[in-house]
Chain A
Amino acid sequence: MIMENENQFPPAPPRWAENFLRWYCAPHLLEEVAGDLQEEFYFNVKRFGKAKARREYILDVIRFIKPFAIKRRSSKPSNPTTGMIHHYTNIALRNLSRHKVFSAINITGLSLGLACCVLILLYTKDEVSYDRFHSNIDNIYQLTCTRIEKDGKEEKFAIAAMVEGPAFKKEVPEINEFVRVKRESLTIKNNGEIFNENIVWADENFFRVFSFPIISGDPKSILTDLHSLVLTEETALKFFNTTDALGRSLDIKVDGDFETFIVSGITSKPPLNSTIKFDILLSFNYLEEIHPDNGWHWVSFPTYFTINPHSNIKTISIKMEKVYRTQATSEIDEMIQMGYGNTTSWGLQPFSNMHLNTDFKGTPESSDPIYSYILSGIACFILLIACINFINLAVAQSLKRSKEIGIRKVMGGQRNQLIRQFLCESFLLCLIAFLLAIVMAEIALPLFNELSNKQLNLLYLLDLKLVIGFTSLFFFTGFAAGVYPAIVLSGFNPAKSLYNRMKYMGKNYLAKSLVVVQFALATFLIIATLFIYQQFEYMTKKNLGYNDRNLIELTIDKAIMDNDLMRTLKTEFSRIPGVEMVAPRNVGRFQGPTQAAGKEFQAIYEHVDEDFTPTLEIPVVTGRNFSKEYPSDPVNSVLVNEAFVREAGWGDPIGKTVDHMNIPGWGEKKMTIVGVVKDHHFESLKEKIKPEIFTYDPRLPLGKFLIRIKSDHIPETLKSMERLFLKMFPYDSFQYSFKNEMNQNNYKAENQWRQIISIAAVLAIFISCIGLFGLTALNAERRTKEIGIRKVLGASITQIIGLISKDFIKLIIISFVIVLPVVWYSIDRWLRNFAYSIEIRLWVFVFAGMLALLIALLTISIQALRAAMANPIKSLRIE
């Protein structure tokens, strides 16, 4: 034909359409449909030409997407193995739906356990991955400072002074670069609006050392200029409504005056698992320019080094030590003269280890790895308890399935086939539990985030390592729960199981010991919870020695060195109607050596005035408070606390003298003690009350106000205080805190642990109990006849309940005895973290034991009662 010869190849329907048809069309219809379509195609080629025929073919293929063409005929399994797996899943599903209660117990327990594991894995991953995103992480080190006091006490810091970075870099060849950072809260003015922002001062090579991506700006000079300013995208949006903010400017208040900084770069926000977090970066050069500081000992700047790969850290430390000894000689001498007998040494800490190391003070957000261990331990506990449920129930149920196993064996079932069948069941159950666990984890995530102080997301799971982790967790759980029952059940002798009424072998020590383990874990958690609650209650409710309610703390940086301003503020604040009393004091908490009664010891120095003790409501035990009536008070009187008197070993301290005080320019003046105040906990209860000296010299720097306000009209009082504050300092923000809230915040970590442990305890006891419930049910079922006969012979309901409960109660008592020393030891260790703690009282243990027993008894008695109430005629008639 002429038409067909136009092309070298005969026309053919479009290949892709044909393939598409082959893909979706049911195999049994494919041949006729594809055949008809192709025939039609050739018919159309002759009638309308190739193009139209192809178009029609494609349309026809699309038209065939109909249910009848897609639906597959149920195919017969061709492969014996897949066939058996099909069979196994079928049997497994039937078994699950037949024993609904047991399936529910197993699935609930396992999914709760797995959900805990999912959450903890997320948490641990976040902890371990901290800071790992820096590409140069292995060569970044943090400079550490260790101080050993005269009395041998060691203090470790992860911070240094301004000079160490440059000095060490210059003298130690292994050190390539140094970066100093300093975190500070500054006031920013933008379009007349005032913001209080956390900023970070950083050296210019910050972005060379750390891998924070720069979005715009010149990476080389981004922080070089004195007035450069780097913003994250979020901050840029906040201030300028655009991320394209290069060259724009912000006014930032440094040292009391607003200074204009110009945006030189935009970066993306640091990841959540970064130790160094910032919204705004400023150039460290500026800080160095306005506060040049050559001191070696006033440490406050985290300093990081990059070092040559493969250099020896020990050698570097020794070299740094040498530099320090030669360059800081005069300062070291001066320190010794001032009475500080401490020695300072320098070291390096790998940047990657920083987050999980709490030895050094000053690393932000560092966390004790013990938390990860404890949490993982708890998750494993709960999962273990759930697995034990599965094992116990599967073994106890085996009696019912002994006939099935017998028949299978008689029909030629191999032992390993039976093992495979049981494993298949446990894996199926585990799969259901696992899916449920993911859902539960997603639901519980917000709560968990709050408790663990993190911002985790289930999307983190899409990480190769974690996926592997979860898959292995799944296989491990399926295997751990299934392997023992599988081996035991598959080992049944078919002759026995089919002939006799099988009795479950022996005393079943395994099931018993597993129940003991379960309850030991649960009791452990209950007791731990009780003690943590008690300690928390103790810390938050303890009488602190002063009244922290309606007490406001207010720091005014401007007034630190300005005592006239302080006095003005005090009178102004006192005039506000809702304010009861105002007491100024110094800002920090300053500790130094002192001498009294011929001894030398460390004491806290507080600069106060005569209103301090009345405002805080601290009683003066002996002697008197400072008073304006004694003109010599400011010059030579001090107050001390009871701890000071104890330390000095005085019987009657009034009139005794403090011979040396570590206050700059104090000299050798002796101060007379005019009064002793009661010990009070101004810090958290984790700290011991230290000896304290209260001075009254008006020349000493103050800067903080403690203000007692009336309990009614608090908001109005605060409003008028803010108005007064803004009138005096229009470009500052009024920031105050209530002292009782600050005190509560000291125990934030304890509060979180309290909640986590109590949730864990509830879960553990719940899962243990549903397991126990299942076991009792099976036990009662097995003994139906026995119970029937006993009832016929006159046993009372109580006797029968006792009969069923007795065995389990024994187990729970054993578990309690085992766990007692372990939990005693752990609680004792934990309480040692607190300088002031509750005593370990026996009744708590007894109470917890009784509680566990009671809950278990309740669980058991539901089943026991049912068995005992049953009509014996019914139970005896069935054969």
Chain B
Amino acid sequence: MGEFEELVLLVVATLNGEAYGLNILHEILQQTNRTVRLNQVHGSLQRLEEKGMVCSTMGDPTAERGGRRKRLFSITAYGRQTLEDIQTVRSTLWKLIPRNLKTTI
């Protein structure tokens, strides 16, 4: 899983069932200050759904979307497991870093 996909998956998890393309985009923009495009978010969501890490349902239509419905994403157990695995690997590695770490320039 790529770094950006991981980010999207994390955001889907934080938004807790209310995640859809646009608010994921805005959340990422707010949290990371990166330039992200809507098509990238949609592409990642597609791939995540194909891998079975998120699943989606259609929400209710709203006026500002021109009467169109949102596709609401929520994280699956497999997605959650993947996130936790990554987290474990990272924290294990963090713990292995010596306290008096010298950095080179």
* Contact surface of A with B, Cβ cutoff 8 Å: 29, 31-40, 42-43, 60, 63-64, 66, 68-69
Contact = CB atoms under 8 A, between A and B. Distances in A.
Contact of A35 (B25, B46, B68): B68
Contact of A39 (B37, B64, B71): B64
Contact of A60 (B39, B47, B69): B39
A42 B22 CA distance: 12
Nearest to A38: B66
Nearest to B47: A68
Given A36-B20, A39-B22, A64 B65 contact: no
A89 B29 CA distance: 51
A36 B22 contact: yes
A69 B66 contact: no
Interface in B1-39: 20-22, 25, 37-39
B39 A31 contact: no
B69 A35 contact: yes
A40 B38 CA distance: 9
A49 B65 CA distance: 18
A456 to B, nearest CB: 51
Contacts of A37: 38
Interface in B31-67: 37-39, 42-43, 46-47, 58, 62, 64-66
A33 B71 CA distance: 9
The 4 A-B pairs of least Cβ separation, nearest first, read: A35-B68, A35-B65, A36-B21, A32-B71
Residue of B43, B62, B68 ringed by the most chain A CB atoms within 10 A:
B68
Nearest to B71: A32
Contacts of B20: 32, 36
A600 B71 CA distance: 110
Contacts of A69: 39, 42-43
Contact of A33 (B42, B47, B62, B64): B42
Contact of A42 (B37, B46, B58, B64): B64
Interface residues of B, number: 20
B9 to A, nearest CB: 17
A39 B25 CA distance: 12
B41 to A, nearest CB: 9
A669 to B, nearest CB: 108
A66 B41 CA distance: 12
Given A32-B20, A36-B20, A36-B21, A66 B66 contact: no
Contacts of A66: 39, 43
Contacts of B46: 68
Contacts of A39: 22, 62, 64-65
Given A64-B42, A66-B43, A68-B43, A32 B68 contact: yes
A64 B21 CA distance: 13
B69 A32 contact: yes
A60 B37 contact: yes
A43 B21 CA distance: 14
Contacts of A64: 38-39, 42
B80 interface: no
A34 B42 contact: no
B74 to A, nearest CB: 15
Contacts of B42: 29, 32-33, 36, 64, 68-69
B65 A38 contact: yes
Interface of B: 20-22, 25, 37-39, 42-43, 46-47, 58, 62, 64-66, 68-71
A32 B39 CA distance: 12
Given A60-B39, A66-B39, A69-B39, A34 B70 contact: no
A64 B43 CA distance: 9
B38 A36 contact: yes
A206 to B, nearest CB: 67
Contacts of B65: 34-36, 38-39
A441 B47 CA distance: 48
A35 B55 CA distance: 19
B39 A34 contact: no
Given A63-B39, A66-B43, A32 B64 contact: no
Nearest to A40: B22
Nearest to A34: B68
Contacts of B69: 31-32, 35
9 contacts: A31-B71, A32-B69, A34-B68, A38-B66, A63-B37, A66-B39, A68-B42, A68-B46, A69-B42
B17 to A, nearest CB: 16
A60 B68 contact: no
Residue of B20, B21, B39 ringed by the most chain A CB atoms within 10 A:
B39
B27 to A, nearest CB: 13
Contacts of B22: 36, 39-40, 43
Nearest to B56: A32
Contacts of B68: 31-32, 34-35, 38
B21 A32 contact: yes
Given A31-B68, A69-B42, 19 more contacts: A29-B42, A31-B69, A31-B71, A32-B21, A32-B42, A32-B68, A32-B71, A35-B65, A36-B22, A38-B65, A38-B68, A39-B62, A40-B25, A42-B64, A60-B37, A63-B39, A68-B43, A68-B47, A69-B43
Contacts of B37: 60, 63
A40 B43 CA distance: 17
A42 B64 CA distance: 7
A42 B66 CA distance: 11
Contacts of A36: 20-22, 38, 42, 65, 70
Residue of B20, B66, B71 ringed by the most chain A CB atoms within 10 A:
B66
B34 to A, nearest CB: 16
A707 to B, nearest CB: 85
Nearest to A30: B68
A69 B68 CA distance: 17
A74 to B, nearest CB: 15
B38 A63 contact: yes
A1 to B, nearest CB: 14
A429 B62 CA distance: 53
B39 A35 contact: no
Nearest to A63: B39
Nearest to B24: A36
A31 B68 CA distance: 6
A69 B38 CA distance: 12
A66 to B, nearest CB: 6
A60 B38 contact: yes
